[in-house]
């Protein structure tokens, strides 16, 4: 078993890729502000090339996050969500605790993420605005999923 499992009450967070409901994940991501219109193929490639964390109540997936990493120096936290019907139950905090405490994700020089509205959540786990934003550059194509 190369995956982790953590339980809290009726909820489970696991990195077991066999448990991931790709249709559910795609359904959420395609309507999210950060990946509106994303194709199922792109979601599946992202999942295949990331360390993924699923959140479950029984057999039903209710949340997701993925970490894009080299497992040595760097991690990018992406696609973090808890479905609306399960918010307000501490699940995003439970998910973040599982991610930042995962033994495979320790000792990195840098973690990054992008968020429009969850700064308070991520700040609880050590995330801060870029200390030197002038050192970072990007290629940003916000409409890429609308043309694929």
Q: What is the per-residue pLDDT for 2?
A: 84
CATH number of the structural domain spanning residue 137: 3.40.630.30
Task: Give per-residue pLDDT as tens, 22-37.
Answer: 999 999 999 999 999 9
Q: Look at the chain and report how many structural domains it folds into.
A: 1
Domain membership of residue 120 as a residue range:
5-146
Helix (H, G, I), strand (E, B) or coil at 133: helix
Q: How does pLDDT run across 67-80, given as a tens digit for each residue?
A: 999 999 999 999 99
pLDDT digits (tens, 9 = 90+) for 36-52: 999 999 999 999 999 99
DSSP string, 8-68: ETTEEEE--GGG--HHHHHHHHTTSTTTTT--HHHHHHHHHTSEEEEEEETTEEEEEEEEE
What distance lies between CA 12 and its chain's CA centroid?
15
Name the residue with higher pLDDT: 103 or 148.
Answer: 103
Average pLDDT, the chain: 96
Q: Give the distance from CA 20 to its chain's centroid.
A: 13
pLDDT (mean) for 83-88: 97
1 has pLDDT over 80: no
Given this model, what pLDDT does residue 46 score? Answer: 98
């Amino acid at each position: 078993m190369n995956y982790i499992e953590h339980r809290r009450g009726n909820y489970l967070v696991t990195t077991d890729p066999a448990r991931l409901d790709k249709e559910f994940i795609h359904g959420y991501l395609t309507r999210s502000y950060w990946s509106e219109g994303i194709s199922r193929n792109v979601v599946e490639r992202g999942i295949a090339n990331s360390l993924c964390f699923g959140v479950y109540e029984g057999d039903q997936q209710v949340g997701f996050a993925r970490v894009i990493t080299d497992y040595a120096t760097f991690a990018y936290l992406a696609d973090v969500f808890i479905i609306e019907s399960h918010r307000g139950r501490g699940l995003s905090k439970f998910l973040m605790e599982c991610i930042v405490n995962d033994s495979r994700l320790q000792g990195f020089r840098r973690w990054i993420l992008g968020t429009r509205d969850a700064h308070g959540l991520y700040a609880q786990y050590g995330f801060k605005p870029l200390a030197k934003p002038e050192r970072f550059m990007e290629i940003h194509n916000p409409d890429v999923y609308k043309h694929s």
